[in-house]
A and B are shown apart, each in its own frame.
Chain A
Amino acid sequence: MKKKVLAMFLATTMVLSLTACGSSEKTPATEAENAATEATTEAGGETTQASADAVTINFSFDQGVGEPTQKIVDEFNDSQDEVHVNCVILPQDAGAVHDDFVNKLASEDTSVDVMALDVTYVAEFGAADWLLDLGDYFDSTTTDQYLAGTIEGATYDGKLVAFPWFTNASALFYRSDVLDELGVTEVPTTYEEWEALAEKAKGVNGVEYLASFQAAQSESMVCDWVEYLWNHGGEVLNEDGTPNINSEANIKGTQKMVDWVNDYAPEGVTTYTETESEQVFLAGKSLLIRDWSGFWSSANAEGSDVAGKVGVTTLPVGEGGAEGHSCLGGLDLVVNKYIDDAHKDAAIKFIKYLTSYDTEKEMTLIAAQPPVLKAVYEDADILKEIPFYADFYNVIQGGKSRPLSPSYSKLSDAIQRNVHEALTGEVTVEDALNALQAEAESLQ
C-alpha cells in the first residue's frame, strides 16, 4: 500500500515535470507562427519558410549596430523572395560575441549561417578552419574596390575567409571652444604641442584635464597603445612577423603613454574603457579625447554638455613618428563552413547585398560606421551629412591593423597585462616591454 502511494507520488512529480516542459515548449511554437520570420534555430540547415521557397538564413551580429542592421535586413527581405534573413542579436560586447560564435562553431552547429565578426578574430577562426573560403565568390576586380587594408585583414593563409562589412578608425576629438578661447588657431599635431596647452586650458570652460583615453586592462587599451607606438615610429612585429616589442621607438611610445596617464589624464584613466573616458569628455572635463569615429554623433547628441563645441583631427605624432596612424577596427562578415550548399549560396547573396554600394552608403548614413567600399567616401550625400569624411578617408588609409595572427588573443592578453602594469607604475616601461617581448617570443 505504502509503496503504491509512493510510486504514485513519484509518477505525479514526473508527470508534473513533463507537462511543465511539454506545455512550455508549445509557447515558442505558437510564437513562431506569429512571427513569420521564425526559423528553428536548432536546425537552420533544414528549415525553409513554409510560405515561399525562400531559403532562410540566420545572421548573427551584436547590438552595437543592432537597430540600423535590423533595418537593412528588413529591406533585404522585402526586396526579394529567394532568401529570408533572420536576425540573431547578441549583446554589444566583442568578447561575448566571440564566445557565442566559438561555442557554436566548435560544435559544428548550423544554427547560424552568417556572422559579423570583429576583425581581430578573423585569423583565429580561419586557423580553426571554421570559415567558408569566399575566394570563389568574389574575384579580384570586386575586392579591389574595397579598402586594401580591410581585404588584407579578411585574408588568412592566402584565402579570403571573410568579407569586410565596415571599418572603424580612431580620431582625436577636441574642444574647439576652448582652443578658440585660448586663441589657438592651428590645431596641434604633436603630443608636445598638446602638452603645451595643458596648463593654459585648465579652468577654461570647465576643462580640468588635457586628455581622456582608454587605459583599462582591456582590448581598448591595446588599440591606444599600438597608436602610441606607431606614432613614435615603432611597430609590434617585424616584417617577418617576429616580435620586436622592446625596441627604442616602442619604449619611447610607451613612455609617452605612461606620461599622459600620470600627468595629463584623470587619475582613474587606467580603469577607463570607451564609456568612462567618454563620460569625462561629455561632461566637459577634458580638452581632448581619443575615440572611435562614431563618437562624433554621441558628442553632439542630447545629454552631452559639449554638443556643437567639438572638433576632430588626426592623432598626434611623437618624436620619431612620421604621421598619426589610427588603429583600425570594424566587423567582417563570415560564413559558417558547416552549412549546406543552398544556405551557402543564400549567405553569399546576402553578403553581396550588404557590401553593395547602396547598402554601404545607407549603413554609413544611419549607423555612422565608416564604409569599406572606397567609392562611398566620395558620395555627395555622405559628404553633406558627415563633412569630416572628406579628411577621414586619409585617416583610414593611414590607419593600421593590430597584428593579424591566429594567436592574437594570447598576444593581446600579454600586451594588456604587461602594458597595464607599466601604466599603473607597478613596473618600469623597459621591464614591462622586455617581459612582453619574452612572452610574445614564446607564442611564435
Chain B
Amino acid sequence: MAMNKKKGKVSLEKAESRAAWIMMAPAIVVLCVIAVYPILRTFWLSIHEMVLTDPASGYPFVGVKNYIQIFQDKRAIASIIFTLKFTVCTVAFELFIGFGAALIMNNAFKGRGLVRAAILVPWAIPTSVSALMWKFIYNDQYGMFNDILYRLHIIDSYKAWLSTSGGSFMALVVTDVWKTAPFMALLILAGLQMVPDELYESAKIDGANVFQRFFSITLPIVKGTVLVALLFRTLDAFRVFDLVSVMTGGANGTESISLYAYNNLMKFLDFGYGSALAVMIFVVVFIISMIYMHFMGDKLDEM
C-alpha cells in the first residue's frame, strides 16, 4: 500500500513537471530564437579586437584585454558611477511617488477613473517626443519650468538648468521619475487589488490605525509585487540611454554607461570594446538582480 502511494506521488510529480515544461515551452522557444544569438555574439565580440575602421587588423582574439581596459578607463568608471547615482535616485523617488499614487487610486472616490487614466499619460507619450519636450521645458528662454518657478517666486531670474552638472542631474531625474512613476503606480495598484477587503475590516475592528494596517497588512501582501516592479525599474534605469542622449548628450558629467557603450559601438566603431562595455552592464545588472533575489528570498521559494 505504502509503496503504491509513493509511486503514485512520484508519477504525479513527474506529470506536473512535464506539464510545467510544456507550458513554458512557447516562452523558451521565443526567448532562445531571438535573444540568445545577440547575447552570444556580444560576448564573442567582446573578446576580440574589432575596430571597423581598421579591417587590416584582421580582428584578432585578445582574451580579456577589453575588460581590463574598462578598469583603466576613467571615463567608463565615471559613467558607471553616474549611472548608479541616477538609478538610486530615480528608483527611490519612483517607489515613493508610485506607492502614494497607488494608495490614492485604491480608494473609492468620485473621478477615480479619470485619475487612473491621467496618471498613465506620462508613460504613454513616446520617449522620443517626451525627451525633446522636456528639453524644451528646461530651456532658459522660453521654458515652462522657468516660467512656473519664476511666477511662484522660487527663482528671481530664468536659469539655464541644463548648463550645469547639478542642474542637468536634477533635470534628468525629474524627467525620468515623471515618466516612469506611473509604471510603479500601476503595478503597485494591481498588487493592492489582490488584498482582500475583509482583512482591513477585521483589522479596523481590532482597532489598528492607518499605519498599523499599512505595515501589518498592506506591505506584506504587496511586497512581492513591489520588489518585482523595483527590480524591473532598476534594470531599466541602469540602462538609461535615450533620455540622456536627447537631453544632455552626456554633457556636464551625465554620460550614462549605456551611452558610453553606444558611443564606442556606433560612433567610434570599436565593436570589441563597446561589446565589452555592454557585457559589463549585463554583469552589474546581474549583480543588482542577485541582491533583489536575496531580498525576495522566501518570496521566490513560494513562487
Contacts and interface: CB of A to CB of B under 8 A. Distances in A.
Contacts of A128: 52-53, 55, 269
A280 B163 contact: no
Interface stretch (B21-29, B179-187, B209-217, B226-234): B21-29
B59 to A, nearest CB: 12
Contact of A270 (B23, B160, B263, B266): B160
Interface string B1-22: 0000000000000010011001
A285 B160 contact: no
Contacts of A216: 249, 251
Contact of B160 (A6, A7, A218, A267): A267
A361 B128 CA distance: 36
A424 B163 contact: yes
Interface string B74-111: 00000000000000000000000000000000000000
Interface in B143-167: 158-160, 162-164
A294 B142 CA distance: 24
B55 A2 contact: no
B251 A279 contact: no
Nearest to A208: B141
B299 interface: no
Give the most central of A2, A271, A420: most B CB within 10 Å. Answer: A271
Contact of B252 (A2, A17, A283, A424): A424
Interface string B243-284: 000001111100000000001001111000000000000000
Given A129-B55, A409-B268, A413-B267, A283 B141 contact: yes
B251 A420 contact: yes
A406 B268 CA distance: 9
B53 A406 contact: yes
Interface string A95-108: 10011001000100
A442 to B, nearest CB: 12
B140 A410 contact: no
Contacts of B267: 95, 98, 409-410, 413
A197 interface: no
Interface in A1-39: 2-3, 6-7, 10, 13-14, 17
A279 B139 CA distance: 11
A14 to B, nearest CB: 7
Given A102-B266, A410-B268, A270 B163 contact: yes
A394 B263 CA distance: 37
A143 interface: no
Nearest to A271: B162
A276 B246 CA distance: 13
Nearest to A99: B266
A430 interface: no
A271 B140 contact: yes
B162 A279 contact: no
A133 to B, nearest CB: 15
Contacts of B263: 413
A285 B252 CA distance: 26
B236 interface: no
A231 interface: no
B22 A102 contact: no
A51 B236 CA distance: 49
A10 B28 CA distance: 13
B163 A267 contact: yes
A47 interface: no
Interface in B34-55: 52-55
14 contacts: A6-B23, A13-B26, A102-B52, A128-B52, A128-B55, A266-B141, A267-B160, A268-B140, A268-B162, A270-B160, A270-B163, A276-B141, A413-B263, A424-B163
Given A6-B19, A217-B252, A410-B267, 12 more contacts: A6-B22, A7-B22, A14-B26, A102-B52, A128-B269, A129-B55, A216-B249, A268-B162, A269-B160, A271-B139, A271-B162, A280-B141
Interface of B: 15, 18-19, 22-23, 25-26, 52-55, 139-142, 158-160, 162-164, 248-252, 263, 266-269
Interface of A: 2-3, 6-7, 10, 13-14, 17, 95, 98-99, 102, 106, 124, 127-129, 216-218, 266-271, 276, 279-280, 283, 285, 406-407, 409-410, 413, 420, 424
